[in-house]
Amino acid sequence: MTREVREVVARVAESTAPEIEQWLRDVANDDPGRALDLWLKMIEYHIPKLARTEMTGEGGGAVKYEHDVLVRPVMSREEWLKNHGIV
């Protein structure tokens, strides 16, 4: 979108906020669940969802969990320095 179109959309959203709030209240009177669904859809444009991240274990396999805690191999400081060509 161009900057101008974004500005127009922002102005329209800002100027219609009171009406949108009333529309949500009207919907909520008849169907609170629907009003909540509409609110959540609208708020995504204000607070974007975080991207999903896939975690894989060693060699791209499954992640190993023990006692509901993610277990990752831990390397020593010396190993890390060596792996990064510092030592």
Identify the pLDDT of residue 51.
Answer: 78
pLDDT band with cut points at 50, 70 and 90 for residue 19? very high
pTM of the model: 0.46
- Which two three-digit tokens encode residue 18? 């009171």
- Which two three-digit tokens encode residue 27? 């919907």
Amino acid at 14: E
Amino acid at 26: D
Identify the pLDDT of residue 25.
Answer: 95
Helices 17-30 & 32-43 angle (0-180, nearest 10): 150
